Amino acid sequence: MRRFVFIRLVCVLTCFVAGGLLAGVAVAGAKINVVQQSAEAFENHIGETIPQSLEAAPQIIVSLVGDVLLASGVGSAIAASGPDYPWLDTARLLRHSDIAIANLECSVSERGNPVPEKKYTFRAAPDSINGAVNAGVDVFTLANNHVMDYGADAFMDTLRVIKEKGLSYAGAGVNEAEAFRPVLLERNGFKIAVLAFTKVVPRTDWIAGKNRPGIASGYSRKLMMESIRSAAEKGDIIIVCMHWGQETADYPSREEIALAHSLIDAGADVVVGHHPHVIQGLELYKNKLIAYSLGNFIFTSSSQKAREGSILQIIFDSGGGYTARIIPTFIASGTTTVLRGDDRKRVLSRVNGLSAGFGTSVQENGTISPKRESGGQ
């Protein structure tokens, strides 16, 4: 099977010209040419996908978001305003992607009881998934510390509802084999594999076994790496989602960094993290992309920082090139909006600072590239 080889991103900045236009930016060594615009023009089109060159090779756009909670305060907002309400300002952007991936942080059922002695337990109504369907979500990752909050029956309902709504799930299943099996999707001639694992495991009986439903444990290192290597033989682009880290921490631990590198060494092309509930930095390791935490996307939180999240949007082309950008978001009253103006600039500046230690820059328009002074990885 053809493997998708990544080419180093090099972002060449050009000056503004009369009329506020910015010249096109090429990704060195790749066939993709992304036409970037001035900050003003970019804001006017923030709800759209990355502008693309008409002469580009066949491409695919993948959008990834962090934690999605459809219960608690968001559940109340859905009950009052309908399942589309949390997605109103982001749906067009996600629908314009070829694939959209989100981490679902709750069970979806009308059955079950809260797991005893667990501080936070979340269960959403089955109809709440309709909003994700209408917004263009294709895959829910379920390897996390909330999908089994209401027990085995509610967990099995969650799997059933997601399938009935026409979506796919990764990182959980009726047994170990399904939990570690990649979701395989084909778009525009690309074969994409999505896997999900969790390092946050509330109870050992949540871990999927040979004859037991559950989640894909990130502590089962042998199974995890074998799953990635197997997926790399079948897919062109391998995306691994990790539920890991310390809540509210600005930086990943050394262990998480080492694990992210190991996942890429095993065959992952993109590694995306969640669980800290805040945005962390980005790294280009061997020219492949790691987003240590995208933060909350749809959630209930009183913390300003935890209400700031992001969409990671990546364009891949068939010549082996890719480009990526971060789109900042904000949660208010149960709905998520795309940040604009000074708030967008502030969040992007913070993400740039969080990424600097990895030798990565985040430009004013959200584009991710190696730092020019270091030359990247």
The pLDDT tens digits along the chain (377 residues) read 434 443 333 333 223 223 332 222 233 223 223 323 333 333 334 444 444 444 556 899 999 999 999 999 999 999 999 999 999 999 999 999 999 999 999 999 999 999 999 999 999 999 999 999 999 999 999 999 999 999 999 999 999 999 999 999 999 999 999 999 999 999 999 999 999 999 999 999 999 999 999 999 999 999 999 999 999 999 999 999 999 999 999 999 999 999 999 999 999 999 999 999 999 999 999 999 999 999 999 999 879 999 999 999 999 998 888 999 999 999 999 999 999 999 999 999 999 999 999 999 999 999 999 976 433 33
Distance linking the first and last C-alpha atoms of the chain: 27
What's the pLDDT score for residue 55? 52
In a domain, 206, yes or no: yes
Dihedral pair phi/psi, residue 190, rounded to 5°: -95, 140
The number of C-alpha atoms within 13 Å of 336 and in the hemisphere containing its C-beta is 36
DSSP 144: S
Domain around 172: 25-370
In a domain, 4, yes or no: no
Three-class DSSP category at 205: helix
What's the pLDDT score for residue 308? 97
In a domain, 92, yes or no: yes
What's the pLDDT score for residue 318? 86
Round to whole Å and give the CA distance between 257 and 54.
37
What's the pLDDT score for residue 301? 85
Round to whole Å and give the CA distance between 244 and 332.
25
Neighbours of 251 (CB within 10 A): 17
In a domain, 146, yes or no: yes
Burial class (CB in 10 A: 0-12, 13-18, 19+), 107: buried
Q: What is the pTM of this model?
A: 0.87
What's the pLDDT score for residue 320? 81
C-beta of residue 225 within 8 angstroms of C-beta of residue 48 = no
Round to whole Å and give the CA distance between 360 and 370.
5
Round to whole Å and give the CA distance between 57 and 55.
7
Dihedral pair phi/psi, residue 74, rounded to 5°: -65, -40
C-beta of residue 105 within 8 angstroms of C-beta of residue 140 = no
In a domain, 18, yes or no: no
In a domain, 17, yes or no: no
For CA atoms 328, 332, 336, 342, the dihedral sign is negative
DSSP 294: B
What's the pLDDT score for residue 34? 30
Token digits of residue 338: 């795309």
In a domain, 6, yes or no: no
In a domain, 283, yes or no: yes
Which residues fall within 8 angstroms of residue 61, CB to CB, at 6 or more apart?
49, 50, 96, 97, 98, 99, 313, 314, 315
Neighbours of 255 (CB within 10 A): 11
DSSP H or E segment with residue 315: strand 308-317
What's the pLDDT score for residue 302? 78
Residue type, 232: A
- Domains contained in the chain, number: 1
Burial class (CB in 10 A: 0-12, 13-18, 19+), 258: exposed
What's the pLDDT score for residue 54? 45
- 29 Rama sector, left if φ>0, alpha if ψ -120 to 50, beta otherwise: left
CATH number for the domain harbouring residue 111: 3.60.21.10
